[in-house]
Amino acid sequence: MRYSPRYALGAICFLPLGCVGVNIDAASAGVRTQNVLDVDVCVIGGGAAGTYAAIKLRDMNKSVVLVEKEDRLGGHTKTYIDPASKQPIELGVAEYDNTSLVRNWFNRLQVPLYSFNFTIAGVTSNFVDFQTGKRANHTPTVAPEALERYVNQLANYPSPNYSLDNGSSPVPADLLLPFGEFISKYGYEGAMPYFGLYGQGWGNFVTLPTLYAIKYFTAEALEAQTRGALAAKANSKLYENAEIELGGDVLLSSTVLRMNRSAHDHADVTVQTPFGPTLIRAKKILSTIPPVLENLNGFDLNRTELSIFDKFRYHTWYVGLLNNSGIPDNLTLFNYGLSNETQYNLAALPAAYDFYATRVPGLHYFTFGLDDYESYFEESEIRTNIEFSLARLKARNILPSGPARELNILNLTAHTPYEVYVSSAEIGNGFYSKLFDLQGRRNTYWSGAAFVTHNSAAIWNYTDSLVEGIFR
């Protein structure tokens, strides 16, 4: 899912449509309920992958039920609508690669797309170290030559979007290097302003295995950017329309209680809904949620699945809006690390990556990252951190001084688990071959960013191929 770092530059538990109730002994299934659904596919997770899969399965004349723990579809896509102006502000996925699949998908759900443009007339940008309040003496720019050489290098790695080592070939040693070492080895420092802008939410991303960087910063994604990214007036409209079309085939605010995949020809999934437990008997399961163990409560994982998913780690990335910040409406600030503690002038974390001007007076959009994996900040901790940053900026006269005002944080959104990953050692030992080998076993298929990368176009493309193959 391409979150805009350039943003940065009814849940009714009735019988789902197309599903047939079956008369079985509910008690023997371990659940006291008369709600029993018989479907071709139970899709777990209503984000980018799950929503796409559910609609595609319906288009293939397959019966489906989509289970989502939140009270809405969309996953990392969340749109804030200002009550007064009705102006939308994206708090997650803000732009999409300009590809035929993306255009067709939005057209399928009758959501118009427009050229993505985050430029606001009259707004200026400053690059400042939020830790010290010191202003950078230049504006970072991407060296086209370095980015071009990086793209040429990608040709050495086949199909990185899906599974670099999904086969017999060993993973290239370069892709096991920390990304910072890969950059130094090939002299791509001139491309770091681009990588740093889009590499938000990954902690200190230059320490991550290079595999994850090249899965995200692909030649296809870069090419799509040159054609101009796309966006809807409000990106959540895509998922609102999907929810309307799926109707009773969506179970919102619902979670997996237990699962039984021991049968050869079906799987039983017991789901807790707002109206009580529901038993879903499905020929196939498609799980699209981040496959970290804390997300898989209720899944009947076998030893192989457990040993694979237990190795995943992840980060948390926050997005929200600031009110009463003291930042002028016509100013955007980027956190540009100037101390010796940071590499490639990346922001010293934990901290805000940026404070963006919006089209709503008095509101600034911000993103916030942590340095450690699987760590979490309360809103009060984020507020304190941002207040310290703003105080430093005022002390350095980056921001105008004025009477103290209580900082308000609106619609704080935690994108977590974000960018699930494993160590270089695990990658080298064939982790992704083992992961992809799970596809189809125990009547279960898997999709989502963990199997591709955080890019909606790539996720939809992979999910499209996967779903077509389920009933082939």
pLDDT at 374: 79
Residues 415, 360 within the same domain:
yes
Q: Quick one: pLDDT band at residue 51, thresholds 50, 70, 90?
A: very high
CB-based contacts of 71: which residues, under 8 Å, 6+ apart? 11, 252, 253
| Chain position carrying tokens 């176009």 | 457
As a whole number, mean pLDDT of residues 380-404 equals 94
Does some domain include residue 253?
yes
**Burial of residue 122, with CB atoms counted within 10 A of its CB: 0-12 exposed, 13-18 middle, 19 or more buried:** exposed
Share of the chain above pLDDT 70, in %: 90
Res 258: pLDDT: 98
Measured distance CA(97)–CA(99) in Å, rounded: 6
Q: Both 168 and 264 in a single domain?
A: no
Q: Is residue 456 part of a domain?
A: yes
Domain extent at residue 343: 117-227+313-421
Beta strands 313-323 and 255-260 are unpaired
* Cα gap 79→95, rounded to integer Å: 12
pLDDT of amino acid 119 = 86
Q: What count of Cα atoms within 13 Å lies in the side-chain half-sphere of residue 177?
A: 13
Residue 85, judged by CB atoms within 10 A of its CB (0-12, 13-18, 19+), counts as exposed
Q: Taking residues 382-396, report their average pLDDT.
A: 96
Q: Average per-residue pLDDT in the chain?
A: 90
Taking residue 387's Cβ as centre, other Cβ atoms within 10 Å add up to 14
H-run or E-run covering 54: helix 48-59
How do residues 314-354 score in pLDDT, each as one tens digit?
999 999 999 999 999 999 999 999 976 678 999 999 999 99
pLDDT at 161: 46
Could you tell me what percent of the chain has a pLDDT over 90? 80
pLDDT tens column, 221-261: 888 777 889 999 999 999 999 999 999 999 999 999 999 99
pLDDT band at residue 117 using 50, 70 and 90 as cut-offs:
confident
Let me know whether 140 and 275 are in one domain.
no
**Whether 262 and 377 share a structural domain:** no
- Cα 64 from chain centroid? 24
Q: Is the predicted pLDDT of residue 57 greater than 70, yes or no?
A: yes
Say yes or no to pLDDT of 115 above 70: yes
431 domain-assigned: no
Task: Please compute the mean of the pLDDT values over residues 203-208 and round it to a whole number.
Answer: 92
Q: Is residue 16 part of a domain?
A: no
The one-character DSSP state at 58 is H
pLDDT tens, residue by residue, 407-446: 999 999 999 999 999 999 999 999 999 999 999 999 999 9
The per-residue pLDDT for range 120-156, each reduced to its tens digit, is 999 999 999 999 999 998 888 999 999 999 999 998 8
Mean pLDDT over residues 299-309, rounded? 98
Q: Is residue 361 part of a domain?
A: yes
- Model confidence, pTM: 0.91
The token duo for 341 is 């503690």
Using CA atoms, how far apart are residues 79 and 109, in angstroms rounded to an integer? 17
Whether 285 contacts 261, CB under 8 Å? yes
- The total domain count for the chain is 2
Cα distance between residue 350 and residue 332, in whole Å: 19
Tell me the H-state helices in 247-319: 303-309
Confidence of residue 33 (pLDDT cuts 50, 70, 90): low
Please give the structure tokens belonging to residue 51. 């929503």
Q: Does 165 score more than 70 pLDDT?
A: no
| Whole-number Å distance between alpha carbons of 335 and 131 | 8
Phi/psi region, residue 206 (left: phi>0; alpha: psi -120 to 50; beta: rest), is alpha
pLDDT in tens, 458-469: 999 999 999 999
Question: Do residue 217 and residue 332 come from a single domain?
Answer: yes
2 assigned to some structural domain:
no
Stretch 3-15: mean pLDDT: 31
pLDDT of residue 3: 33
Mean pLDDT within 37-41: 98
Instruction: Give 61 or 402, the one with higher predicted confidence.
Output: 61
Do 196 and 344 touch, CB atoms closer than 8 A? yes
Q: Is residue 99 part of a domain?
A: no
340 and 446 share a domain? no
Residue type, 142: V
Give the whole-angstrom CA distance, residue 58 versus residue 61.
5
Q: Same domain, yes or no, for 216 and 331?
A: yes
Run of H or E including 436: helix 431-436
Same-domain pairing of 55 and 199: no
Res. 29: pLDDT tops 90: no
Left, alpha or beta for 333 (phi > 0: left; psi -120 to 50: alpha)?
Answer: beta
- pLDDT band for 4, please (50, 70, 90 cuts): very low
Neighbours of 158 (CB within 10 A): 13
The CATH number of the domain holding residue 205 is 3.90.660
- Read off the tokens for 343: 């590499």
Asked if 217 and 318 sit in the same domain, the reply is yes
Cα distance between residue 96 and residue 107, in whole Å: 14
Tell me whether residue 84 is in a domain: no
pLDDT band at 24; cut points 50, 70, 90: very low
Please check whether residues 237 and 223 belong to one and the same domain.
Answer: no
Distance between CA atoms of residues 41 and 242, nearest Å: 17
- Which CATH number do you get for residue 287? 3.50.50.60
Pair 135, 36 in one domain: no
Whether 38 and 181 share a structural domain: no
Q: How many CB atoms lie within 10 A of CB 143?
A: 16
